[in-house]
Each structure stands twice: as C-alpha cells, then as structure tokens.
Chain A
Amino acid sequence: MAGLLTAVGVTEIYRLGPSDAFKQGLWIVIGVGLFALALFYLRRDYRRLENYKYLFGIAAIALLFLPRLPGFGETVNGARLWVHVGPIEFQPGEFSKIFLIVFLAAYLREKREVLAQGRLKDLGPLLVIWGGCMLVLVSSNDLGSALLYYGIFLSMLYVATARLSYVLVGIALFVLGGVGAYEKIAHVRERVTIWLHPWTTTKIYCPSTGTMALRQDCQSYQLVKSLYSIANGGFGGAGLGKGTFTTTSGTPLIPYINSDFIYSALAQELGLIGAAALLLVFMLFVLRGMKIALQADDGFSKLLAAGLTFGFAVQTFIIVGGVLRIIPLTGITLPFVSYGGSSVVANFLLLAGLLLVSHRANELR
C-alpha cells in the first residue's frame, strides 16, 4: 500500500515537474534503504528502543529546535522549518514526529496505570516534552504540525489510560488555546479568515503586494485556485497528464502543487473516482496499522503502532482537510504522496516501525 501511494505520488510529481520526480525517486531509494536498515537492526527486538525513551523525547525537541539555530535554519513561507547542513536540507519536524511517538509509547507504557488513576504528578515529564514541542511549533508558525502533535498526544494518552476525560480536557484546552492563538497571532487569524471567507466581492488591502485586491487574488489565492483545480476534476477527472496547472503563458497556477497541494492536482486529474480510491488506500493503511496495534501483545508495541497509525491518519486529514476547506489550511505533506525528501524518509521509517510490531506479533503467535 505504501508502495502504491508512493507510486501515485511520484507519477504525479513527474507529471508536474520531471526534475523533481528524479529527486523524489532518489529520496525514495534513501527512504527504502533506511527502512531496510531499521528493519535489520531492530529485527530481534525493537523494544529495546524503550530504554532510550528520554533520549528520543529530547531528540524530538532538539530536532524541532534545529531550524531556530542561526546558521542552520531557513525560513520558508513564514515558517522556520528547514535545516541546511552543507548541501543537505531537510525538515527535522518530520523525524521528530516519529521520535516523539516512540517516546510517548515508552513513557505511557510505563506510567499508564498510575496515569489512569489520575496521578497528575506523573504527567509531568510528558507535559514538559510535549509542551516544549508545542512551544517550538507555535513559535515557528507551523500550525499544521502543532495540531498533528496534539492529536497524536491526546490519542496515545487515551489509548494508554482509557480515560475519556483526558481527551475531553485536552480538547477543551485546545479550543481555548485556539481562541487565544486567534486573538494573539496574526498568522492564525489570517488562516482562519481565509478558511471562512476565501472570496470577497470588494477589494481589500493585500499585504503581500501593498495594493487593494480581492481576497481570492491575494491571501486566499492558493486555496481558491486549488479548489478550482479539484472542481475541474469532476467525476471522472481530466485524465492523468491532462489537468490544467499553468496559465496560457506557462506560469504555475498553484504554488507547492507537488507537496502541500498534491491532493488538488490528483483530484483534478483522477477525478472523484481516483481521489476516493486514493483515500480508500489511506483508509486501508490505517485499518492495517490499527490491526497491528490490536494484535501486538505488549503495551509498548500497541502504543507505538496505534500512535504511528493515528499520526498518519491525522496528518492526512490535516492537509487534505485543509485543501478541501474542512479546516483552516496549514502546510504539511501528504504521507508518501507529496514531494519532499524528509517526508518520504520519515514515512518509510514509520512504515518500518509498523512492520516491526507486526512481525513480532506474528512470531509470538
């Protein structure tokens, strides 16, 4: 399934820009290599990772902090997410996600009983690590990832403790935080405004050009153009390679069409049939991942598999939901499909984790 998603992704990336597809291919090779390496090293018992849980937790935060360090980081789209090390540039956030899941799985396994009893003291380290992540994410304007991490955190907490009250409190806190962010952070406010009212009939001030323009020609043009792209697909789609992504003079209509907006490209070319089929593959992947979690026989494995799978589902929901205007749009990648080295490699590592859990569960049976 991962292979299928990757193939769909690389095909569409090739169609949108052949040179990017070559790079993506290279990343896929690296991803598969690391995937094999991970499987090889951890084939006996991946559970020894548990012993290094704090290391993972700290590494997750460290990775998130990397782009903030002068000399490494680079700001793209108002968010500081990239790291340059010599010729290599990558988004550490993608890896930090997996590390965080490993940490949470290990920590929650250990403390689940006490946490279930409601001993708040034990939430301490958890909140520290997690709070650090959120702080970094919100301060670097990467709201999509913040939402993703929060979702992963709440879901794993719930699986570990079986206490719905944690989830409800968490959601309440999130809503509160959301309102606060809306009030305080202009970036958030803008995203929400774009989400609620992408079209205006009168011209408003456009900060990027400093002139008056309709919102669909200014802040929300990405979302609007992407919606046009999706709508143009209709039921059957325009056909692979037949979609319209450039103007008559060849300038691209949608920026980041091969990463954040790859879903709108696919939806236009494959239509409702193809898009629904693609989402179905995502669903199957999620089902499969959850089944692995169910079959696993120890807490760490269950938490790890469930966390990785739910993270995968939420990430898909955040980006596709954003593109489809279900939620405010935030730029993150579509797992396996989007263009992006870090994303591809990280997702193959995620897959390796699931396979390891599955392998062990089968062996024990």
Chain B
Amino acid sequence: MNKQISRLAVVALILLAALVVATTYWQAWAASGLEARQDNSIQRVAQFQIRRGLIYASDGKTVFAANTAKKEGGQTLYFRRYPTHGLASQTIGYSTQGRSRAGLERSENAYLTASNANLGTIFDKITEKVKGTTVKGNNLVLNLKVGAQKLAESALRGKCGAAVVLNPQTGAVYVMASSPGYDPNKIESAKGYASILHSPGACKGSASALYNRATQGLYPPGSTFKTVTAAAGLDANVYTLNSQFNDPGYCTEYGQKISNALNPEGSAEAYGNVNLLQAYQHSINAVFCNIGQKLGAKRIVDKMKDFGFYSKPPIELPSDQVSASGEYDSAKGEFFTDAGRMDPGRLAFGQDKLDVTPLQMALVAAAVANKGTIMVPHLVKKVTRPNGGTVVKFGPHVWKHAMKPQTAADLNQMMQAVVTGGTGTAAQIPGIKVAGKTGTAETGVNKVYDAWFIFFAPADNPQVAGAVVVEDAPDGFGGSVSAPIAKQLMQAILPGTPKK
C-alpha cells in the first residue's frame, strides 16, 4: 500500500503547489491589471488611505483644501475638507468619494497623493509604507492671492462672469474667479450637488457652477479683440500708429452698412479723420472693419494662432476644463480656421463667430505687457513635501511669441490711451500708468452685452495683466461694468497703491 500512499502524497502536494502558483499569478502577474479595473473597490478605498497634500494660497498660510481623518473598518481614512468654502472653487476643484475629482484636485492628483515619479517622493512613500505609517501626499502652494481672489469673487457675486489676473512676466496666475461659484464641501451630498448643478440665475453656456468660466467660458470678445487685429496690421507693417483713416460712422460689408456703436443720442457716432491710435482708443468699429477687409481673415487668423488661439493654454487644470479660443462653429461644436468661412470685417472688431475664454484674453493683454512674449500660465508656484522641503518649483517658461517687440510697444501706447482718454477711463489709478481695452460684445439680445475689460499695469514695467468679463450686463459697457472691477484687482495686487 505504501507505493499508493506515496503517489497520493505527490498528488496532494501537486494540488497544494498549484495553489502557490496561482497565488503568485494573482499577486505578481495579474495584480496591476486588477488594480486598474474600474470596479476595484479596494483601490477606490485606497485613495482615501492616503493623506492628500494640502493646497495653499500664495501666502503659504491660507489653506484651500485640507483633510478630515475618520476611523473606519480598523483604518484611518482621510476625506477632503475645504476651509475657504468655495474660494476659487472651480480652480481648486474637489476630491470626493461619489463624484471623483475636478480642478487642481484632479490634474495635480499625482503630487497630492505622492504617486508621481519623483525620486524623493518615491523614497518617502516607500519608507512610509515599510514603516506602516500613512502615506502623505505633497502640498501645493499656488500663485493665487487670497485678497485679490476674494475681491474678484465678491465683485462678480450675483452675476455671471469671470476674472483672470496674472503676472505677464512670469505667468503666475494671481486671480482665477468664475461666478457663480460653489462650496466644494457640498459636492458629496446629492442635494448639495443638485443645487450646484442648477445654480440660481441662468448663465450662458452652462447653468452649472462647476463650470470654470475663466478657462471654459466662451464669449465673443467684442472690441478687446481689436488688440489682435491691430497686432496683425502692425506686425505685417501694413499700418503704423499714425496710419490715417476716415470714419463715416459705418463700414460696408457685402454691400450692407455696419454702423458704429450708438452715441447717447441714439445715432451712430462718426469720428471723421482719425489715426490708428485714436481709432483703437475710441474703439471705432468702422475703422477696424476696413482694416479687417484689407488684411483679410487669413492674416488675422494667423496672428490669433501666434497669440495661442486655437490651442488650449498649457495651464495646470484638467484639459477638459480648459477650452481653446477662436472662430467657433456652434452647429458642429468645433473651432475652425478656414478664412473663407469668415467675415473679415466683423472678425476684426471681435464679432463674427469668435468665441474666446477670459484666460485667452488675459494672455492677449499679457503679451502686449511682456513685449510680445506670452509666458506659460502657472497656477502652482511650487510643490512641497509634507515635512517642508521643496519637491519642485515652477519658474517662468515662454509659451508663445505673439508679436514683434515694437508692435507690443505700439499697442502698449494704444492701450494706455484707452485708459487716459478713451473708453476705459474708469480703470485709472492715481500714480500708476494703466493700460487697457474695453469690449462690449453683442449677445444677440438688444441692449444686453457681455462687458469685457483687458488690462495691465504699470504700463512701463507691467506686474499684472488680466481680463474681466461680465455676462449679459443690461446696458452694460466694458468701460462701465468691467473696468472698475479690473481697477480694484490691480489695486489689490500692485504694491503701494491706495486701496479702497
């Protein structure tokens, strides 16, 4: 019988050895495949075992996103808490159980959970794992300035609109506000989420407060776009500041008259003989209409591409929360560059089918301010270790060369003229040279406009540049609605300016 027993023993051992092999298969070979599966609830839980990094404002003190620890099933889980209750809500985003993530919480998740491939972080994480302590994510320090951010949000409160302010020389984003905002602490609950999705006061594009109007909102830029048109003309040496025009109060497009903006008496204003600077200063549509016809849509579109239109600005937000800008075919839902489908006259003064984001227009102002060079916009200043060391710092990087330095210098002069004696006088700050351009874009509804203001200051050494847009302002002009907001923002950020 012993022979049979030995054989039986071998069979039994083979069966058990098969278990070792199968365990190896699942734990070593198939493990990564299983980890990546959508329904892997362990991985879903594992995200909450990591203590996510904090998100700080530029002062390094104000915390946008913190953690609450909770004991559950013998483990400590960390859930997000947003102490500022919605300051820069769309930009910071959220990290929740039920609704995943948005904003920087999504795009910077690798840093926040210390899962990025940075040597120092990997080392820290392994030691933490071996020691059995909680994995701690890296902290983000943003460029956002709390004071100015709050100011922008309170100025936009009750309206739909957005404001972006950045440093034209470094690309550091100081303010990114989108109204209506929301309290990310309420995202998790079904009721809170519903109220965020259908925020009161219907806004264009999306009624949702989750929508980041600063980077996703598409608006006709109106007269602020004349900056791009003028850059195209000046760069190509077709015009100079002193090029002379005659303004009869309208221009003729395809045999039809397009009138200038109405003056207070209700008739179209006519300025007669003006030069380019004056035409820009007073935002004369008829002159720019003729410029557009002479330049042709193609040359304007090419210049737009130099400014970064038709591509998404490389900001740190998730790419589906940033939109490109340009001529937009709303029926097809796509941007197009075919000049043959454009109306060059209307394009030149910022109407036609143009749809642009506030961020893109802020970068147009920044290009003029920074001698024609657009820096990569940075929300994140640096990433720090939980114990204080710095993981990585984000310095200035060039994104686009939008125009020649001389063109930028001419436009700088033109934009200053707008504030000193043109349509943007509401943005004047005593003791500081402010440059700007108003925009009052038709919305299709009579006497209801999207009010724009793009700006930078101080004009001789620009420290801030930006764009403010307020949607559907009844009787609201860029100069009267948005320029005063821009003025407050500049005052809040520029040192040594009298603050209200």
Range of interface residues on A (Cβ < 8 Å):
35 or more
Partner of A325, one of B1, B22, B72, B73: B22
A224, A229, A268, A313, most chain B CB atoms within 10 A: A313
Contacts A241-B74, A310-B12 given; indicate if A159 touches B5 (C-beta within 8 A): yes
Identify B9's interface contact among A15, A268, A286, A326, CB under 8 A: A286
A316–B16 contact, CB under 8 A? yes
Whether the pair B1, A159 counts as a contact (CB closer than 8 A) is: yes
Question: Which chain B residues lie closer than 8 Å to A230 at the CB level?
Answer: 23, 26-27
In the complex, whether B20 has a CB less than 8 A from a CB of chain A is yes
Asked whether any CB of chain B lies closer than 8 Å to the CB of A350, the reply is: no
Q: Which of A214, A247, A268, A309 has the most CB of B within 10 A?
A: A247
- Give the chain B neighbours of A280 by CB distance below 8 A: 20
A140 within 8 A of B: no
Check if A115 is an interface residue, CB within 8 A of chain B. Answer: no
Given A279-B19, A279-B20, A316-B16, A302 and B74 contact (CB-CB distance below 8 Å): no
B40 within 8 A of A: yes
Interface presence of B190 (CB below 8 A):
no
Give me 13 other A-B pairs in contact (C-beta within 8 A), A228-B43, A235-B28 excluded. Answer: A159-B5, A232-B35, A239-B132, A246-B75, A247-B41, A247-B44, A279-B16, A283-B17, A286-B13, A299-B1, A321-B22, A324-B25, A324-B26
Q: A173 contacts the other chain (Cβ, under 8 Å)?
A: no
Describe A's contact surface by its main secondary structure.
helix
A310 proximity list for chain B (CB < 8 A): 8, 11-12
Contact among B12, B23, B34 with A276 in the assembled complex (CB-CB below 8 Å)? B23
CB distance from A283 to the nearest CB of B (A): 5
Select the stretch in B45-53, B191-199, B384-392 that faces chain A. Answer: B45-53
CA A290 to CA B45, docked complex, whole Å: 44
1/0 per residue A234-257: CB within 8 Å of B? Answer: 110001011011111110110000
Contact A228 B132 (CB under 8 A): no
Closest-by-CB residue of B relative to A309 is B12
Q: How far is the CA of A229 from the CA of B37 in the complex (A)?
A: 13
The 8 Å CB contact of A162, one of B4, B16, B48, is B4
A329 within 8 Å of B (CB atoms): no
Min distance, Cβ B309 to any Cβ of chain A, angstroms:
40
B-contact 0/1 string along A90-105, CB 8 Å cutoff: 0000000000000000
Tell me whether B97 and A227 are in contact (CB under 8 A).
Answer: no
Instruction: Let me know if B31 is at the binding interface, CB within 8 A.
Output: yes
Report B-chain residues with C-beta under 8 Å of the C-beta of A245: 73
Give the residue of A15, A160, A314 whose beta carbon is less than 8 angstroms from that of B15. A314
A321 x B75 contact (CB < 8 A): no
Q: Output the nearest chain B residue to A305 by Cβ-Cβ distance.
A: B5
CA distance A275 to B31 in the complex (A): 15
Q: Are A234 and B28 neighbours in the complex by a CB distance under 8 Å? A: yes
Which residues in B have their C-beta under 8 angstroms from that of A272? 23-24, 27-28
Residues of B at the A interface (CB closer than 8 Å) are: 1-6, 8-9, 11-13, 15-20, 22-28, 30-31, 34-35, 37, 39-46, 48-49, 72-75, 77, 79, 97, 132
State in angstroms the CA–CA spacing of A232 and B33 once bound together.
11
Q: Can you list 14 A-B contacts (CB < 8 A)?
A: A155-B8, A159-B1, A231-B27, A244-B42, A247-B45, A252-B73, A267-B23, A283-B17, A290-B8, A309-B9, A313-B16, A317-B18, A325-B26, A326-B19
Count: A-B pairs, CB below 8 Å: 160
Contact A225 B5 (CB under 8 A): no
Do B18 and A326 touch (CB < 8 A)?
A: yes
Q: Are A227 and B34 in contact (CB under 8 A)?
A: yes
Q: A249-B72, A253-B42, A302-B1 are in contact. Are A290 and B23 (CB under 8 A)?
A: no
Q: Are B77 and A321 in contact (CB under 8 A)?
A: no
Max chain A C-beta neighbours (<10 A), residue from B22, B37, B132: B22
Bound CA span A217–B38, Å: 11
* Contact indicator A162/B1 (Cβ below 8 Å): yes
B97–A248 touching, CB < 8 Å: yes
Q: Mark A130-171, 1 if CB is under 8 A from B, else 0.
A: 000000000000000000000000010011101000000000
Given A229-B42, A293-B5: A286 and B22 interface contact (C-beta under 8 Å): no
Residue of A nearest to B70 (CB): A248
CB distance from A230 to the nearest CB of B (A): 5
Which A residue sits closest to B71, measured CB to CB? A250
Residues of A186-236 at the interface with B, using a CB-CB cut-off of 8 Å, are: 199, 214, 216-217, 224-225, 227-235
* Residues of chain A lying within 8 A (CB to CB) of residue B79: 248
Report A307 CB to chain B, min CB distance, Å.
9
Cβ distance A157 to chain B, nearest Cβ, rounded Å: 10
A216 vs B34: C-alpha distance when bound (angstroms) = 12
Decide if A36 is an interface residue (CB 8 Å cutoff). no
Q: What separation, in Å, do the CA atoms of A287 and B45 have in the docked complex?
A: 41
> Of B9, B39, B74, which contacts A290 at CB under 8 A?
B9
A162 CA / B1 CA spacing, docked (Å): 7
Cβ contact within 8 Å between B77 and A248 = yes
Report chain A residues within 8 Å CB of B77. 248
Q: Assess A228 versus B19: contact at CB under 8 Å? Given A290-B9, A314-B12.
A: no
Question: When the two chains form their complex, are residues A158 and B8 in contact, meaning their CB atoms are under 8 A apart?
Answer: yes
Min CB–CB distance A192 → chain B (angstroms): 18
A225 touches B41 (CB 8 A): yes
Q: Does A27 contact B (CB under 8 A)?
A: no
Specify which of A216, A287, A293, A299 is in contact with B39 (CB 8 Å cutoff): A216
**Contact across chains for B27 and A321 when beta carbons are under 8 A apart:** no
Residues of B within 8 A of A302 (CB): 1-2, 5
CB neighbours (8 Å) of A228 from chain B are 34, 37, 40-43
Question: A230-B27, A321-B22, A326-B22 given as contacts; is B6 within 8 A of A242 (CB)?
Answer: no
Of B22, B26, B97, the most chain A CB neighbours within 10 A belong to B26
Q: At the interface, yes or no: A54 with Cβ under 8 Å from chain B?
A: no
Residue of A nearest to B45 (CB): A244
| A residues in contact with B13, CB < 8 Å | 283, 286-287, 313
Residues of A within 8 A of B73 (CB): 244-246, 250, 252
B-facing residues in A256-298 (Cβ within 8 Å): 267-268, 271-272, 275-276, 279-280, 282-283, 286-287, 290, 293-294
